Each structure stands twice: as C-alpha cells, then as structure tokens.
Amino acid sequence: MLYRFKKMIIFKIPVFIFILFIFSSCSNSFEMKNIVMDNRFSVDLPDFLSSSGSLNENNSIQYQNKSRNFYVIIIEQPIDGFHEFLEDFYLSEDYSEDLQGYSQLLLDDFEEEADNMEIISGEDTFINGMEAKVVRFTGEMESQSAYFHMGCYKGKNTYYQIVTWVPLSKKEKYDYILSDIIHSFTEI
C-alpha cells in the first residue's frame, strides 16, 4: 500500500509541475488590440492594459497595468497651440516651431523631472506616413528607475506624444512591445 502511494505521488508531481508550467506560460501571452480615439488616431496596445484616468488628466489616452508596472499615455497638442506656447513663454529662441523643437521641449521637460536621465537612442523617422521622432531613455521618477520609450509625431494639424514606460528591470522583457506601440500609431 505504501509503495503504491509513493508511486502515485512520484507520478503526480511531474504532471502537476507540467500543468503549472502551462498555466504560467499562458499568463505571459497577450494580443495587441487596436484602440481608436474619437476617429482622430489609433494605436495598438497589449490586451493586458486597461484604461485609466489616474495618470494625468491632460492625456487623451491613459492605459496601465499596475501589476506589470506597464504604462502608456498619449497627449495631443495642436500645432498652432504649440507655436503660441513658444511665443507666450518666450521660448521661440530656444525651440524651433517644428517636430524637432516639440520633441526637444518634451525631452528637456523630462530631464527636469527625472533624476539620472540618460538617452539610450533617438531617431528621426516616418511612422505610418507621419514625420516622427522616437527616443528611448532611462531615468528615476519618484525614486523608481524606469525605462521610457517615447514617440513624437507631426500630424496634419496636431503634434502627438506617446510615452510608454516600465521599471528598468523589465526593459528587456517589454522593449519590443513598447516599440510596437510606438510604431503602430496612426492619425486617421
């Protein structure tokens, strides 16, 4: 009887471990879903994110997953409004009235807010027919080291900014997803 019990336990442990492995693998899988904002723009986001209003009230879109520490915001700025902002705050000499000036102002603002900010890469490109600037950087916000992937886009009449971020320790795990989000953005 004891022999039969041990044999049964020995058989069930590998099966249990296998089932655990299958369920844990499934929990890491996800699909990208297309989010359309008032017929103005669309972006693909992982289905593990949910809409949130708690990050910043000025954002057009805010998505997050607190358990994964994964965050996405999108902000819209009318191009004319950006030009007026530069004039109103006497910044026209510091920033050009184009996408380069817009993205540089945003990066400078991040640099003021983040400790130990370090730009990893930056590129001027076109994404889905729009002039774009894509920047990857790290920094500390509220004593937390984070990895940021930012995209700035020039639409027909609007500048768009997408900022995605995760803890720095999860950079390798999520970098390709952050990149997919940045490169999926489309003005409608």
The verdict on 20 and 54 lying in the same domain is no
Same domain, 26 and 41: no
- Give the per-residue pLDDT at 22: 43
Asked whether the beta carbons of 131 and 153 are under 8 A apart, the reply is yes
Q: What is the mean pLDDT of the chain?
A: 88
Can you give the pLDDT at residue 29? 83
Q: Under DSSP, is residue 4 helix (H, G, I), strand (E, B) or coil?
A: helix
0.85 surpassed by pTM = no
As a whole number, mean pLDDT of residues 172-177 equals: 97
Q: Is the separation of the CB atoms in 5 and 13 below 8 Å?
A: no
What is the reported pLDDT for 26?
A: 45
**pLDDT at position 15:** 46
Percentage of the residues of the chain whose pLDDT score is greater than 70: 83
Rounded Cα gap, residues 4 and 143, in angstroms: 56
Same domain, 42 and 17: no
Q: What residues make up the domain containing 24? A: 1-30
Into how many domains does the chain fold? 2
Same domain, 153 and 74: yes
CATH number at residue 72: 3.40.1000.10
- Report pLDDT for 54: 60
20 shares its domain with 82: no
Query: Does position 187 have pLDDT exceeding 50, yes or no?
Result: yes
